[in-house]
Structure formats: C-alpha cells, structure tokens
Structure 1
Amino acid sequence: MITESEKNIKNNIHKSFEPSEIENKWYREWYRNGCFEEKNNLGRLNKPQDNYSIQFPPPNVTGTLHMGHAFNQTIMDCLIRYNRMLGKNTIFVPGTDHAGIATQLVVERQLEKENTSKYAIGKERFIKEIWKWKEKSGNIITDQIKRLGISANWDREYFTMDENMSIGVIETFIRLYEQGLIYRGKKLVNWDPKLLTAVSDLEVEMEEVDSFMWYIKYNIEEQNEDNSNYLVIATTRPETIFADNAICVHPDDDRYKHLVGKNVYIPLTNRKIPVISDDFVDINFGTGCVKITAAHDFNDYQCAIRNNLPLISIFTKDAHLNENVPEKFQGLERYQARELVIKNLDNTNFLIKTEPHKIVQPVGDRTGVVLEPMLTDQWFVSTTKLAPDSSINPGKSLSEIALEVIEKEEIKFYPDNWKNTYKQWLVNIQDWCISRQLWWGHQIPAWYSEDGQIFVAHNEQEAYQKASLAGVKGVLKRDEDVLDTWFSSGLIPFTTMGWPNETSDMQKYLPSNVLVTGFDIIFFWVARMVMLTKHMTGKIPFKNIYVHGLIRDSEGKKMSKSKGNTLDPLDLIDGIEIESLVQKRTSGLLNPKHAEKIKQLTKKQFPEGIKGVGTDALRFTMSSYATLGRDINFDIKRCEGYRNFCNKLWNATRFVLLNVEEDYKISKNDIDNNTHFSFADQWIISRLQNTIIEVKHAYDEYRFDNVANAIYKFFWDEFCDWYLEIAKVQIKQFSEKEQSSTKKILLIVLEEVLRLAHPIIPFITEELWQKVSLFFNDYHNKNVFISISTQEYPKENRNKINLAIEKDFIELKSQIDAVRTLRGAMNLSPADKIPLLAKGNITKLKRNSPYIMHFAKLKSIDIVNDIPKLEAPVQIVGETYLMLDIKIDINLELLRLEKEQKKLMEEIDKCNLKLQNSNFMKNAPEHIIDQEKNRLEKFQLTINNVSSQIDKIKNIIHKL
C-alpha cells in the first residue's frame, strides 16, 4: 500500500524546473549518505579488474574555477558516475597543488598591503602566514568544484604539501639521487628577475613586441690597410656584447668561410673572440653572422657546448650588469645598459645602422617581467642517463621507459595522434631543472659541508650521520631551494596511493584507468608522471590518456581577462546581472580605454546579463562539446539549448506522473511480458536498446559528444516527440490492459532514461528519479536512502531490438509526414479536422490509423480499395496512397499556387541580386551573407514544392 508520504512526493513536482532549488539539496544528500564512497558498488562486481579510479589534475590552491576546469571536471565525473553505476569499486581522488610561485605571490601581496614584506618577517613566519592563508582562503576552488556536482572521494582529498605527500616527494628525490639520476650543476635556465627564481617553460609566455635590429661592426684581428677588414653582426640585444665568446657563421656560407678560425675584437672592450662555424646559423637572417652569448641564450648555449666555448655571465640575478663588464656599465639595469651601449657604439663608429624589427620575447606569466636565460646552479633530473642495476628498471633511462610503454600500447592516447607529439618530445628531451629559489614548497633534502660536499638525507640527523661516515666534520647547511611544483605533481599517481608503503590502494588503484587532461601539459606533467611512476613503482600511472582541446570564446579566440572574453562557469550556472559582469571583466585593468572597450563589448554581448542555466545544462553542454582533441568555440546559446532539454525532461516526467495512478506499482522486469504491448510500445523499447548500445560504445571510445547526442536524440526526438503523443492516444482510446501496458512503458523507459543520463546531468535526474522510482517494487524500501547515483546503469538487451517493428514505425512516420504535407499544400488550418482516404495494406493501416489521426489532426480515416483520381493531391508512401477527402476548385487552387510561385521568384531574384553584387559580398558581415544564402536556399526549396503542386494540378486539368 502506498503511503501518504509517497503520495506527496509523487504529486509534489513543480510545474517548472528550477535548478537552484535542487542542486544544493542533492549534493548534501549524496555526501551525507556516502554515495561517493568506494563501498557503493552494489556488490555486483568483485573482480580486481573492476576497480576503477581517476585522479584530479590538481588545480592550484590559489585558483578559482574557470571554463577549462568545468570542462575537465565534467568529463571525469561522467566517467566516475558511469563506472560507479556499472558496479565497479570506484574512487575519484581530489586534491590541490601548492603552486609554489602563485601562492608565494598571493601572500607577498597580502603582506605589502600590511606595509611589510617576507624579508621583514623572515622565512619561518612567512611560511606560517602561507599556511594560515591556505586554511582560510586556499580551498575556494574546491568548494567551486563541488558546485559542478563532482562526486569525488573527499575523504581522500590531498594537498601536495601535506605530510603524507611530502614523505613521498622526499623519498623519490633521495632514491633518484642515490641512483645518480638527480644531480646538481650549473646550466642555463629561464630566470625571472623579479621573483629571483628559475621558472618552468609552462610559466613562460611568448610575447611579440616592436623592437629594433642593431647592426654592429666587429673588427677582424688582421686588419687591412684600408681598415675595412671587419664583420657586421645583427643583434636584438646589443647590451649582451660583453658576454660574447665567439662569432658564428654557417659552414656553407661562402661569404665567411675564409674567416673561420680567425679572431675578431668585441667593440667597447677590445676583447678577442674566435670566428667559428655551426649549422644552427640561419644564412638568410641578418648578415648571416651570429654573436654567441652562451650564458644568455639557449641556442647559443648549445652551440658553445658543441664547440667548447667559455661561458661568460654578465647579469646579476635581478638583471643588472655585473663585474664582468667595463666599470662604467656595472650596476646598470639591463635596458639602461642597452641605451648606454648603443650610444657608445654610435660614438665610436661601431654602430652601422638600426632597423625596426619585431621580436618574440619570453615573459613570466605571473610577473609580466621579461625573463632572462640565466646560468645558475640548479638541481636536475637526468632523463637520458641509464638507471643502475639497483633500480626497478635497470639499464633504461627515464625517457626510454616513457617511450616504451607507449610503443607497447600499455598506455593509449585518445585521440591516438597525440602519442606522436608525446614521443617527439621524449626523443628530443633535455634534463629537467627541478629546483626553485622560493621559500614555499618542498625544501630540497640536501645538506652541504663547509668544503662543499653534498649529503642528501630524509632529515638533518641522517645528514650528519652520513657526513660522519664520510669523515666530514663541522656544521652542515641545508640547501635553501625548493622543488619545482611539477616534480611533486609528477608523483601524484603513486604518492596519493600511500607510496612508499605497499598499500592495498597501490594494488587496487594503480594504475588509474584514465587521465583526463589538456594537450598543453603533455610534456610538463603527463610524460613526467609516466617516467617517474614507472621508474619508482614499476607500474604505469594510468591506462588511458584522454586529451581534450582548449575552451575558446564563440569566435575561436583564446579566453583571457585582457580580451574581456572570459566566462565564469558559476555565472553560467547562477546567472549574473550585466553591471556585475562588466565590473568583473574590467576589474584590475589599468588602462581606462581598454576597460571602456571591454565594458562596451560586454554590454553588446550580454545586454541583459547572463541568465543562469543551472549545473546540469552546463554539464550537458560540456559533454556535447567533448569531441576528441579539438579546441572548443564555446557558445552560450548551446547552454540555453540544454537548459531547454532539462525543461523537457522535467515536463515529460510531470506528464508521466500525472497519467499514472498514485498506487500504481510495477517492476522493471514487467518489460519482459509484452502480451499487451502495442507495436509503438515495442518500437520505443527497441529504440531504447539501440540507444543504450550507442551510449556504451561512446563511453568506451571516450566520445562524450556521442553520449550526449545519443541521449538527447532518443529522449527528445523519439520519446517526447513521438512516444508521449502516442501514449496519449493509447491511454485515451485503447483497452484497459493496453492502457496499463502503456503506463508501464512510460515509467520503465523514463526511469531508464534518467539512469542513462545521470552521469551527465546528475541533479535533475536524481530529483525526478526519486519520484519515478516510487512506482517500482525494485526500489521500494522506505527504511533505506536510495540514490540514482548508486543504481545499476541500463544494460543492453539485444533480444528486445526489433528491426521489423522499427521499419514499420519509420513507415508510420512517413505516412504522418505525407498527410502533413498534404495539409500544408492545401493551406489547411491546424484546427480543421479533415477526413483522409487511404489505400494500402489494410492491417497496417488499421493499426496506424489512430496515430495518423492524432498527429495529422484528422477527422477520420477511410480505408478504400481505390483513390479517386481527380479530387485532390495524393501522397504515396511505399505501397500506401493517401488523399485528403476534400473537394477543391482546381482552377482556383492553380491560380493561388501560381501567385505564390511568382512571389517566390521575386524573392529569389532579390537574393541573387545581392549575392552577385561584389560590393555586398566584400563589405557585408559574414553572418549577413550567410543569412542571405540561407534565405535563398529556403525560397528555392519552397518554390520547388509549389512548382511540383502546379504540375500535378495542370496534369489533372489536362486529363479532364
């Protein structure tokens, strides 16, 4: 017997879908009832291969949610929810990255507002301030991620500076050092003169700016009598001439072959350097002579190593000139030095000419300062040195290990083409700089003796023990540098599983099933995780790599605050007023003209602000965009379209619930008893099975766009547009048993659709499933909380696929469309109920008649042996002839159609006139041109139909 409480749940479904009312409620319920926990596999599967795990690409703890996060997180959560519903032991491991540079900058700026600095308070207190900030404000992005409905195992949440994670980081460093795969050396690195630290390539933005090319004369040692024996080099950095250690030309450049091996003098210093040859020189650039400043240019550095040249560094860490330059230039900032160098070169006749020239310069993404290639002492991971016999992978380098797992297809890329990019980078890999000159991060576990010996240890006590065993006495000083954030994040696959301990998690969840990531960090993160995980544990970190594109704006431009085209996922979910949106987009912009431009652009794009669509619509949009590897031009209208889908799902559920008695009870197995199922019932069951198969295949191929499209097409086009209308006919006109069967099908198919769609749109499906499930004995247990998120995902049943029925239904659709065409051809109002004459298979026509009458708005259908030839237009569908039983004045109808034909021809001529006008095609906006082309196509289709009707009527008149 149904309870009063259950009656209220069924009846209490609002007339409209309001996402904000259900999202917070259900996320709390899921978490409170442990729906995300590993135990929720329903006991269906217990084999080891049925463990399923995904790990967050950890966002920066300083970050806030952006469109890339929303896309990435949606894809991962779809996979997790899908596999949880398959019954697998599923974990989704969340975490955040300590983001060394970004976090340190946040707290530094906070201290500046308090009129102090990190240097004033000291390192120990500064680190405490960072931890204080982290506890107070550092988890914003985690809370925002939860708004997306992410069903992560929050009890497993990690922070890369946590004690357990730090243990794994230090242990990895020590083992790699002891194996000779980590070393300290002086090399060229990207250096930020403001942060005073090395930075990774990922933190470098290449910026094109207007500059100059300076042509400078270098005198050759053996001067001619006419004093013309010199070389001219072209440079964009004249201030670095004090660091020159050679002039280089291409070996095949006939202009300079005779000079190779001779010496030239550097202007302003008269220091002598050799002329050498190397094929990295571009013969056609500048004068074909390149000055080699090995300590301040990456290409020059490689050339110097190949040619055994000395390395001369002329910059201090803050990019001022040091003691290796003439005295009058010492202490100058690099650009001040440039001006003085140019002035002195000009005054001494060494400056030949100056030309405007665009350059691409490296800029720090955090500071905006131009970076310097800097020769500094750093720690490196050797990626090409062979591992010793004591390692898990003896005789193989880290790069070889990472290549081998791809070649053997232990790890697969989706799409496959990204493996070529991955392999190309590994083949040309350089050693990895892992040290940073920061205060925040994992401090390098190395101590130095007074004579410079290095002792790497887990702690200071162990370092002193190692020093004592080596016969070293005195005070040890710890290295002040910290490890690159990418080093600790590269260990996440196994440190989150409890390594270096051999835990059950290591056995069950390493490797994880898939890494979901963008292509821009394949080198910086993906390849390094493969190298380190395989080397340290002997296991691959993940089985599959799903590489998605970048989210761009609707015009394909990269989203950035400076362009004013960013979108906040939470604004799409909740909505935002136009003034608030303008303020958000212009805040922090220093240029008033730039701010005004973005303000006007924003008001033009969103004159009424952004209307919130809810989380489900945003997730559906992201899924529908998830084609393999392509960048995404995000159109907010797509979100609005999927909000309409959610509305459709809501309204369809209301219809079903309102047409089923409150005490109606069924079982999912009732679908097996099809005694009273109509052919339309069997059709929707068959189509559902095909959809389930299509969705499963799409998940297997990581084609989330196909998952979304298959569900959308089945629910909207087949269930709503066709079966719900058919159900109205069957409930109203068919027998009691057939009516009962119709209600069963409505509930069973709707319930399966909700489970099918749940991984993509979790909130609305949970809300509606809670009401629909009350009609099923399978779920009826009032003492236990049940959630759609832990129910079984729909399984395919190929026995229920009926191709003959599907073919018959296609014929029914064609018959309905044919009658609608007849009505349209005769300009009949939808309110006019007209009789139909039909000739064909009597059995099928009798079966189809109730549906044709409903969809085509007919008064009746008479099945006849023959169709009158002269009464009205006829439509033929296969062997079926259809004609509206209506008398028409053929001559008047011909006159009407000919007038319409003439009007259409005039419109076609107008369109052609525009499209053949070169000025219009050249000056009109692209969307206006497309609009005109669409109008022309529409008119041509219409006139073809009208002309066909005219021909038919003329043929009738001729026969008369």
Structure 2
Amino acid sequence: MDKTYHPLEIEKRWYHHWNQTGYFKPSEGTQAYCIMLPPPNVTGTLHMGHAFQDTIMDALIRYHRMLGYKTLWQGGTDHAGIATQMVVERQLNAQGINKHDIGREAFIQKVWEWKDHSGNTICKQMHRLGASVDWSRERFTMDQGLSDAVKEVFVRLYDEKLIYRGQRLVNWDPKLHTAVSDLEVISQEEAGNLWHIRYPIENSNQHLIVATTRPETLLGDVAVAVHPDDERYQSLIGKKVKLPLTDRLIPIIADSFVDPEFGTGCVKITPAHDFNDYEVGKRHQLPMINIFTEDAIINTNAPERFQNLPRFTARERIVAELEQANLFEKVEPHTLKVPRSERTGEIIEPYLTDQWFVDAKTLAVDAIKVVKEGKIEFVPENWTKTYYEWMENIQDWCISRQIWWGHRIPAWYDANNNVYVARSEAEVRQKYGLSADLPLMQDNDVLDTWFSSALWPFSTLGWPHETPELKSFYPTSVLVTGFDILFFWVARMIMMGLKFRKEVPFKKVFIHGLIQDSEGQKMSKSKGNIIDPIDLIDGIDLEKLVAKRTYGLMQPGMAKKIEQTTRKHFPEGIPSYGTDALRFTFCAIATTGRHIRFDLGRIEGYRNFCNKLWNAARYVQMNVEGKELGKHAIDREFTLCDQWIWSIWQQTKQTIKQHFDDYRFDLLSQTLYEFTWNQYCDWYLELSKPTLTKEGVDEKLQRGTRYTLVAILEELLRTIHPIMPFITEEIWQKMNHFINPSHQADSGQSIMLQPYPLFDASKVNHSAEVAMQGIQAMILGVRNIRGEMNISPAKQLPLLCRGGDASGLRKIATDNLTTVQSLCKVENLSWLEANATVPSSATALVNDLELFIPLAGFIDKEAEAKRLNKEMEKLHKEITDIQKRLQNENYVKKAPADVVAKEREKLQVAEKSLEKFQDNLAKIQAL
C-alpha cells in the first residue's frame, strides 16, 4: 500500500471497474430490494441536497446488496418541462431566434438535440459520488415507454371522470404564459404598502374603508365582505357599495373568512384574482370577473381608460384617480409575502383560466387508508400527521401547462370545441365514431411534470406492460426524499400506484431534512453560501471558486457581495476531501430534524478518519505480510486482547444493523467511527504490539493476533463499505488475500459483492470485556498521571499498586502483566500491602485499585514548580477577568444568554484546573 492515501485516483478507477463489470445490475436473490431515484431535472447539476440524498440511498442499496437481496436502484431523469424549455429558448434567443419563428415541432427537435448533447450532467456527477445505480436501465420521463404510460393513465382517469377540464383559479406566470405548481412558487417577505380606500355606500353619504395591498384588482371586485359577528357592520350586510372608479354596485356580504382585526375589518372580494376570494365567491355564488390578460395587462372587462395598462402601471393610475376622487383614505408601509415564480422571478398572478384537473379528493381516499392501515410507514413517524392533514384537505390538481416541451395532452377538439380523449387521433376517431374527414385539433397544452413523475415507481419498470421487472420490484422497498416534496410527489405516487397497480408504490418513506450551511441558513446563490459537492471532492482554489460563484451574475453589486462572502469563508479555497469523506459526513449529519447543517469542519474530520483507516491497514499489512496466520482454527490461540476485540465487534455489528433498520445514519456512522478510531485503531493496534514484538511469545498466540488484526479489519471494511465504498474496496483488495489466499487483487472479485458482516454470538466473551475494561482503566490512569505531572510518555516508570482484590483488578493486572507494562511504559510493577507507607507519589484510583507513581527522580522539581506557577498565574488572571464580567449587571443583562452561560462554564473549568495545579505543586514541594 502507498504510504499516503490519495482518494481521487482510487475513486475514478474503482467506479469505472464496478460500472463496466455490471455489478450495479440486480443479481439473483430470493428477496427483492428496490429504491427509485427521485428523478432530478435533466437540466440540473449535482447540489448538496442531491449528494446528501444520493448518499443515503446508495448506502441502503449497497447494504442490502451485501445482505444478498436482488437489488435494484432505478435511476433516471425528469424532462423538467418549464426549466428545459427556458434553457433552449435562451440558447435560441442568443442566436436571434424566437421559438414561434420555427414552430412547435422544430422547437421540440431542438430540445431533444440539447438533451442528447448537454443533458444528464447530473447523472455523470453521480458517478463521482459512487452511486451504484443500474445505469443500463436509466429512464427519462419523455422516453417512449414512459410517454405511453402517461397517455394510458390520462385516458383511463378521464374515462372514469377523474380528470376533467374546467375554469379555475391557478398560479399564473405572466412571463412564461403558463400555470405553475405551488412548488414552483416562492413566497418571500417584501416591503409593500397597504392602501385604505373608501367604498361609498349606496343611497348614503357614508362609506366603508377597505384595506388592500393590490389596489389595481379593485377593478375586478364583486363584493365587500365583513365578519358576520362584527357589530360595526351588522346593519350594512345586504346593502351595496359603489365600486370606486367604476359604474358598478357590489353587495356587502358576511363571511367568517374575514379577520375583524385586519385593517378595518372590511375586505374586498375579487374571486378571479385571489385564492381566498375565489372560495368566498363560490360560497356566495358571486360572478368571476377576470381583469387581466395572460401578460398581466388590464383587459376589456375594466373601464376603457385602464385597458392595455400593465398591472403595476394600472396601480399607479388607480391610486392617483382615487386621490382625485377623494376616495383615498391613507397608505401605510406593510410587509407582505409576495409569490414569485421560481423560474422567472415574476410576481405570480392568481388567474382564472381553463385548465385540466385531476379529482385528487377521490384518489386521496385510498391513499389515506393505506397509511392508516400501516401498509406505508413514514420514517420519522411524525410526518404521518402532516401527510394526513394535507391529504384530508387536498384540492384538485391542475395538471395542464401552457408550454411546448412535455407530454402533450391526449385530447382533441372539433370546430365546435367538443373534446375527445384517447391515446391517439386514430383512436379518437374509432372511440367516438368520428368520420375521417372531420377536422380535429390536438390540445396545445402539456402535462405538469409532476404528472409523469407520479407514475415513476411503475412506469420505469415497464407498465402498462406486465414485465418481469414489474413483478419483481413493485412495490418498491423504500422511498428516500426530502419533506419539501411530500405532497407534490410522494402523495401523488401513492394515489397513482394504488389506482393503477392496486398496491402501494413503496412500503416505507424515509423523509430527511434539508441541507443548510453551518450557520443554519438556506443555501442559495444570492447568499453566496452554496457549496458544490464536486468541489469538496476534487478541491478548488480560491480564484476559481470566486469566478465560478460570480459567473453569469448580471448585477455587479450581487457579484461583489458573493465574492466578499467567498473570500471570507474560503480564504484558501476548498481542499480536496475525496468522495468517501463527503459521504461519511452526510451520513454523520443525517439527523431526524427538518434542517441539517453542513460544516466543513466535519468533512475535515472524516478526511482524517479515512487517513486513520488507511494507516491502520498499512500497519496490519506490515505485521501480517509474509507471516503465518494459521490455516486452521487449531493453529491459533487468542490473547485476552484478541478475545476482547472480537467480542465488542459483535456488539458493534448488532448496533449497526439496528441503526440501518431504523434509518439512523447519524448513529450508524457514529458507531462505525467510534469502533474504528477508538477501539480498533487506538486500542487494539496498540494492544497487539506486545504479542507481536516481545520475545518468547508463543507462536500460536502470535498467529491468533495476526489473524485477528486482519480478520477484524476485513469485516470492518465490509461493514463501512456502504458508506465509504472507494477506500474500503481499495484496502480490501490489498487485505483479503491474507484470509482468502485464492483471492488476487483486481481478479473480478469486489467487496461490494461480499456478504455483510452480521452478529456472531459464538465470539461474544463478556469476561474478556470486563477484564479489558480494567486494563484500559489502569492504562488511562497512568497516562493521566503522566499528563498532569508533565512526564514524558516514553519515560519508563515504576508503578506501585494497592488493593484491587474485590474488583478482580489485581488478578487481571497480574495475568496480563506484559500488556500492562508495555502500554503503560512501566519498567516494573509492585504490589503494596494495605497499610504500607507510600512515598510521595502521583495517584490514580481505578475502582478499588490504587495506582501510585513515585515522583522522586522523575521530575525536575524546580523546573516543574516554575511551570506550574506560570500556569497558575495565567489561570488567576483568567478567573479574575471572568469574575469581573459576571459581576457586571449590565453585561449579564445585555449579553446573549448562551454567551453568559459559556462564560460561567469557562470559570468552572478554570477554577478546577487551578485546584489541580495547586495539588500537583504541593506534591512536588513535598519531594
């Protein structure tokens, strides 16, 4: 093995080998295990959320593959209708071409060309992450097979009256000219105004004052609403007001939707331009007046003088006219949530338009039932309640989009606008008995991207055909996803799976939190805190990182801000950590919370963990290479240390299995880290040295220790492999031949195809564990004395012991004298009688066993006293400074509570340290 661990070369070589050899394809197995990759957008690149989620899925897949399951990780990408169309439109616009100039068919061809040339970048990046997806089965939501599935589902749902076309209020992007889903709308707080407008009451000199954040929509008002219990307006309910700037009268109605505490308690009702108003309008059978075009320009339903004005220009004109007409009460600053299109940044307009809808309420009934019956389990369980709340209040799903790229709706119209739905035009004519010469026009809309994604668990397996893959892998085993798409995707997959397969699409849903930066902030381009996972793997210098982060930013101020943020947080760029360290970090932070903080300090620590594992393997190789391990069990004997490590390893494996079963990847990685670093590397490797290096040790014991060294390491590598696949494969190839002489490195065998190590009760030895705990406590006791008294770790010392009979520690120490002396660096160990005089010594207590290190002759009395006095002087100053701060009432009141708590904690630590130094000084002065 190389002296130094170099991850990048190892990772590229092994991934190519795994993929080319076909190891990611399902193997034979009696039980199937399948995970569906949430299909990333074909336009996308790997971000931290993807990398985190993919690591979790790959760990599960590799784990179950090693357990012997017939394992499939089904991958693929989503056609991302709006995002992909925008990418290609921008490219055409840069060439001076408008999509309408070339027409729909030619534009679609351009999109396919872009997809073949530039799409799927994210899948290639997943290779770098070590994702063991079966790439030979990679699917795309616009594939022919998946497109056929989409048509099949649409037609069947339409024929069952579960899909319908109707006029409803939707989220409308005035720039894209299409409806968008709630997930594509980002609502953020922005500074705005609250305008107070006077609505004159009919046949009266009184008026109602209505507060609104959108005065331009008053042109579409059809009522003013008050709360039915609001005493201020009881006498006015049923009367009418004159709609300002128009010649219309509108009623005053009562509705419990109104909040009497907001504004004046009077609310304008504009059903065609507000989702809440829309519901009020339906309840009171009010007219729906749409005042906007698809460009958010005032249309002909408004007074002529406002027509053709953009919405915000109309706002200015309306406010000005209200002032002139003495109908303007006041305006006041108001912070409000503004819905913006995720794709364009445009303010979303609630817009009344004809769209296609799915009757989600009907489909939700069975989707709720299967969760209540336990056929689908949410992990963590608390998401079950959230699921119920949404599903029980679900609204019909708008599935049509006014764009060109996507699954075109399989509906045709005749000249009288009659609609016909079938899988093709030929089927339409046959199904509805239409003549061949009747002109038909296919619907121009395409389906919402989430519609095809909802079919993903079964469409990717070949449905509507009954394929062997569908039989083997549906229902799938677990869905791994973030909570942000619980409703947009998870719930819809459940509804569609039950409808078309009569079975749940997955048995478990593991819902993880969303990645944030180290300060708990959402990662975003505007904040300049995004980290590219590939940069963490490969490393990137500061200048390249700055250039990458500011590239393409049109606003100089934003670019400068991001450059400053980058230079502040990454003054030396990002070093190369390698994939395994990144993957281990993701597992370590995979807590059950909604938000997960990513700290570069963690990945630095796990890069060191990789080094630790690498160096441990080199130690094992050096001590086992060319040496006898014993061909048979009879050829070996095991020391107490060997028996101890085998025993605690069994319990560790048992714990690991439980954490895998519970999806507690944070606890799983913590368990692996603890055993590898502390038990195996720090303790066992040291404990093995006396057996391997001392003269006169029985050869059988040496064989047993050599065997234990390499056998535990080999099992440990297999256990860590699902999380850190590359380094474990590399080391395993170097180590496995010691145990399996027939194995040759790179011979076609792979660690990923080996069985996963499981608990072995025959190797549990509780008495060895108890004995080793005693020896470890003695070793730590002596090491603590060295540290406290500033004695060199290499200096050989005498050790006096007293007691230890009741706990059995005396017998343990006597039976394992070589180990104790070797690791404590003790030249001789003597036992004192109960009332023997003890020379001036540093002491430690281990249960009922007293440890004494005589200080005479081992310490430079004057030098150590000088050092201790200097340390105590520093502590006196620190304690005085902290006490002054804490005695200052203003400081305690104004400083954050956590800062004050830390100061108190620092004071306690400093006082204890001072006390310890004073005790040590007294011992030295007594010499």
CA distance in 2: counterparts of 1:175 and 1:659, whole angstroms: 69
TM-score (norm 2): 0.95
Match of 1:19 among 7, 31, 35: 7
CA distance in 2: counterparts of 1:630 and 1:861, whole angstroms: 55
Q: Which residue of 1 aligns with 2:286?
A: 309
Q: Which residue of 2 aligns with 1:851?
A: 819
CA distance in 2: counterparts of 1:617 and 1:917, whole angstroms: 46
Q: Is the 8 A contact 1:773 1:779 kept in 2?
A: no
CA distance in 2: counterparts of 1:660 and 1:181, whole angstroms: 69
For 1:443, the aligned partner's letter is: R
Task: Tell me the SS of whatever aligns to 1:881.
Answer: strand
Match runs of 1:125-144 below 5 Å: 125-144=106-125
Give 1:322 deviation, angstroms: 0.6
Match runs of 1:136-215 below 5 Å: 136-215=117-196
Q: Which residue of 2 aligns with 1:748?
A: 711
Q: Does 1:514 align with 2:485?
A: no
CA distance in 1: counterparts of 2:845 and 2:496, whole angstroms: 69
Q: Which residue of 2 aligns with 1:824?
A: 787
Task: Tell me the SS of whatever aligns to 1:593.
Answer: helix
Give 1:577 deviation, angstroms: 0.6
CA distance in 1: counterparts of 2:717 and 2:452, whole angstroms: 41
After superposition, what is the alpha-carbon deviation per residue over 1:265-319, rounded to whole angstroms, capped at 9, x for unaligned?
1111120111110000010111111111100000000000000101110100010
Task: Tell me the SS of whatever aligns to 1:188.
Answer: strand
After superposition, what is the alpha-carbon deviation per residue over 1:651-686, rounded to whole angstroms, capped at 9, x for unaligned?
00001001113365667xx6x669610110000001
Change beyond 3 A, Cα 1:600–1:232: same
Task: Tell me the SS of whatever aligns to 1:269.
Answer: coil
Q: Is the 8 A contact 1:872 1:888 kept in 2?
A: no
Q: Does 1:884 align with 2:832?
A: no
Match runs of 1:631-780 below 5 Å: 631-662=595-626, 664=628, 676-733=637-694, 734-777=697-740, 780=743
Match runs of 1:235-384 below 5 Å: 235-384=212-361
CA distance in 1: counterparts of 2:535 and 2:737, whole angstroms: 35
Give 1:715 deviation, angstroms: 0.5
For 1:776, the aligned partner's letter is: I
Q: Does 1:943 align with 2:914?
A: yes
Q: Which residue of 1 aligns with 2:828?
A: 860
Give 1:696 deviation, angstroms: 0.1
For 1:851, the aligned partner's letter is: T
Match of 1:428 among 393, 415, 424: 393
Q: Does 1:36 align with 2:24?
A: yes
For 2:722, the aligned partner's letter is: P
Q: Is the 8 A contact 1:665 1:777 kept in 2?
A: no
Change beyond 3 A, Cα 1:547–1:783: closer
Match of 2:880 among 892, 909, 912: 909
Q: Is the 8 A contact 2:865 2:921 kept in 1?
A: no
After superposition, what is the alpha-carbon deviation per residue over 1:203-238, rounded to whole angstroms, capped at 9, x for unaligned?
001122222111111121222xxx3x2211111111
Q: Which residue of 2 aligns with 1:494?
A: 458
Q: Which residue of 1 aligns with 2:411?
A: 446
Give 1:881 deviation, angstroms: 2.8
For 1:233, the aligned partner's letter is: V
Change beyond 3 A, Cα 1:673–1:402: farther
Task: Tell me the SS of whatever aligns to 2:621.
Answer: helix
Q: Which residue of 2 aligns with 1:118?
A: 99
Q: Which residue of 2 aligns with 1:387?
A: none
Task: Tell me the SS of whatever aligns to 1:255.
Answer: helix
CA distance in 1: counterparts of 2:829 and 2:374, whole angstroms: 63
Give 1:902 deviation, angstroms: 6.0
Change beyond 3 A, Cα 1:334–1:243: same
For 2:500, the aligned partner's letter is: M
For 2:57, the aligned partner's letter is: M
Gaps of 5+ in 2: none
After superposition, what is the alpha-carbon deviation per residue over 1:488-523, rounded to whole angstroms, capped at 9, x for unaligned?
001101111111112222221111111000001111
CA distance in 2: counterparts of 1:21 and 1:274, whole angstroms: 75
After superposition, what is the alpha-carbon deviation per residue over 1:846-897, rounded to whole angstroms, capped at 9, x for unaligned?
2332222233222222345455323423333233232224537999699776
Task: Tell me the SS of whatever aligns to 1:109.
Answer: helix
Q: Is the 8 A contact 1:94 1:153 kept in 2?
A: yes
Change beyond 3 A, Cα 1:482–1:903: closer
For 1:333, the aligned partner's letter is: P
Q: Does 1:873 align with 2:842?
A: yes
For 1:870, the aligned partner's letter is: P
Q: Is the 8 A contact 2:733 2:746 kept in 1?
A: no
Q: Is the 8 A contact 1:666 1:777 kept in 2?
A: no
CA distance in 1: counterparts of 2:895 and 2:252, whole angstroms: 58
After superposition, what is the alpha-carbon deviation per residue over 1:396-447, rounded to whole angstroms, capped at 9, x for unaligned?
x211111101100111111000011111001111000000001000000001
Task: Tell me the SS of whatever aligns to 1:131.
Answer: helix
Task: Tell me the SS of whatever aligns to 1:513.
Answer: strand
For 1:18, the aligned partner's letter is: H
After superposition, what is the alpha-carbon deviation per residue over 1:557-600, rounded to whole angstroms, capped at 9, x for unaligned?
00000000000000000001101111122223333233222212
Q: Is the 8 A contact 2:517 2:599 kept in 1?
A: yes
After superposition, what is the alpha-carbon deviation per residue over 1:634-665, rounded to whole angstroms, capped at 9, x for unaligned?
10110010000000000000010011133656
Gaps of 5+ in 1: 1-12, 385-396
Give 1:167 deviation, angstroms: 0.7
Give 1:923 deviation, angstroms: 8.2
Task: Tell me the SS of whatever aligns to 2:818.
Answer: helix
After superposition, what is the alpha-carbon deviation per residue over 1:595-645, rounded to whole angstroms, capped at 9, x for unaligned?
222212211111110001000000000000111243111101100100000
CA distance in 2: counterparts of 1:774 and 1:352, whole angstroms: 87
CA distance in 2: counterparts of 1:321 and 1:292, whole angstroms: 18
CA distance in 1: counterparts of 2:420 and 2:124, whole angstroms: 42
Match of 1:62 among 43, 46, 54: 43
For 1:444, the aligned partner's letter is: I
Match of 2:581 among 584, 598, 617: 617
Give 1:947 deviation, angstroms: 4.8
CA distance in 1: counterparts of 2:209 and 2:437, whole angstroms: 56
Q: Is the 8 A contact 1:464 1:476 kept in 2?
A: no
For 1:772, the aligned partner's letter is: M
Give 1:736 deviation, angstroms: 1.8
Q: Is the 8 A contact 1:834 1:886 kept in 2?
A: no
Task: Tell me the SS of whatever aligns to 1:296.
Answer: coil
Give 1:461 deviation, angstroms: 0.6
Q: Which residue of 2 aligns with 1:590?
A: 554
After superposition, what is the alpha-carbon deviation per residue over 1:186-207, rounded to whole angstroms, capped at 9, x for unaligned?
0000000000000000000112
Change beyond 3 A, Cα 1:251–1:675: same
Change beyond 3 A, Cα 1:900–1:430: closer
CA distance in 2: counterparts of 1:813 and 1:405, whole angstroms: 53
Q: Is the 8 A contact 2:813 2:820 kept in 1?
A: no
Q: Which residue of 1 aligns with 2:381?
A: 416
Q: Is the 8 A contact 2:371 2:377 kept in 1?
A: yes
Q: Which residue of 2 aligns with 1:217?
A: 198
CA distance in 1: counterparts of 2:26 and 2:195, whole angstroms: 66
Give the fraction of aligned pairs with identical amino acids, expressed as a percent: 49
Give 1:21 deviation, angstroms: 1.1
CA distance in 2: counterparts of 1:335 and 1:752, whole angstroms: 68
Task: Tell me the SS of whatever aligns to 1:611.
Answer: coil
CA distance in 1: counterparts of 2:756 and 2:859, whole angstroms: 58
Task: Tell me the SS of whatever aligns to 1:323.
Answer: coil
